[in-house]
């Protein structure tokens, strides 16, 4: 596939493009998914601290932002054990490394997006291939990723490990984003059971979802990979999202 119409650079190569990382508004993403406090507090500053780890694609000629794939260095657990906290845990680890004045030995892909009008043209797979190459050039033997499956929200009550195991007739992953990772050479290694946690008062959940949140227990919400647990007695509801750890040997 020809991607000559795209120019892809790291933010270290083009620091003037740093402001573009906030321009990828996606109307298909549920509003509550932007409310992860760990991500809100740490993600922008860590991307700026490690600009060589973020790839940004723009359209040649117009300079319009086309897609982005952010990775970050982090420190895994003992013996390289991947954290059950997935996305949030990588951010917290990268922040702890930054406070200690070090850079973690592992690298994880954390966020990938393509402008909605450009989807279906292979851009996400192209960015993933370039992220693998970039991680190798930065000295990493493997690229990890707590992958958020694209279509898991259509099966919110299905355990993630069972969802990952779903295959098409040709043996490839049923989920399109998992399929991109596997075709690029990634392999599923574990579930990150609490990759993202969002807790907020019920009034905010009602505003985000349009649902009443007036009874205790799980509530299926549009865009969620799993249900939100409502606790009217405490006036809180909590969403805990599982992601799928993939490993790309480079």
Count of CB atoms situated within 10 Å of the CB of 43: 20
CA 97 to CA 92: how far, in whole Å? 9
Q: What is the average pLDDT across 85-101?
A: 98
> Given pLDDT bands bounded at 50, 70 and 90, which one contains residue 249?
very high
Q: What is the pLDDT of residue 78?
A: 83
Range 198-227 average pLDDT: 98
This prediction's pTM: 0.96
Q: What is the pLDDT of residues 175-209, one digit of tens each?
A: 999 999 999 999 999 999 999 999 999 999 999 99
* pLDDT above 90 (res 27): no
Q: What percent of the chain has pLDDT over 70?
A: 100
DSSP string, 89-125: HHHHHHHHHHHHT---SEEEEEEEEE-GGGTTSSHHH
Domain ranges of the chain: 6-195+244-249
Spelled out in words, what is the top-level CATH class assigned to the domain 6-195+244-249? alpha beta
Judged by DSSP in three states, 234 sits in helix
Give tens-digit pLDDT for 98-155. 999 999 999 999 999 999 999 999 999 999 999 999 999 999 999 999 999 999 999 9
Measured distance CA(97)–CA(216) in Å, rounded: 39
The predicted structure's pLDDT at residue 24: 87
Interval 33-50: pLDDT, tens: 999 999 999 999 999 999
């Amino acid at each position: 596939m020809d991607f000559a119409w795209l120019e892809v650079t790291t933010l270290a190569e083009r620091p003037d493009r740093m402001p573009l990382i906030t321009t990828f508004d996606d109307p298909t993403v549920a509003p509550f998914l932007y409310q992860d406090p760990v991500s809100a507090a740490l993600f922008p500053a860590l991307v700026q601290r490690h600009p060589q780890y973020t790839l940004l694609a723009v359209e040649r000629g117009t300079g319009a932002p086309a897609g982005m794939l952010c990775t970050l260095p982090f420190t895994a657990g003992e013996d390289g054990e991947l954290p059950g906290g997935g996305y949030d845990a990588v951010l917290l680890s990268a922040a702890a490394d930054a406070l200690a004045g070090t850079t973690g030995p592992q690298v994880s892909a954390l966020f990938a997006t393509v402008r909605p009008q450009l989807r279906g043209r292979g851009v996400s797979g192209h960015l993933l291939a370039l992220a693998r190459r970039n991680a190798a050039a930065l000295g990493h033997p493997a690229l990890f990723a707590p992958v958020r499956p694209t279509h898991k929200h259509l099966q919110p009550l299905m355990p993630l490990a069972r969802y990952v195991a779903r295959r098409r007739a040709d043996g490839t992953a049923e989920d399109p984003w998992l399929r991109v990772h596997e075709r690029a050479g990634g392999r599923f290694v574990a579930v990150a059971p609490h990759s993202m946690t969002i807790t907020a008062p019920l009034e905010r959940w009602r505003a985000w979802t349009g649902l009443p949140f007036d009874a205790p227990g799980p509530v299926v919400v549009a865009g969620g990979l799993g249900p939100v647990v409502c606790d009217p007695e405490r006036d809180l509801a909590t969403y805990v999202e599982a992601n799928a750890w993939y490993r790309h040997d480079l």
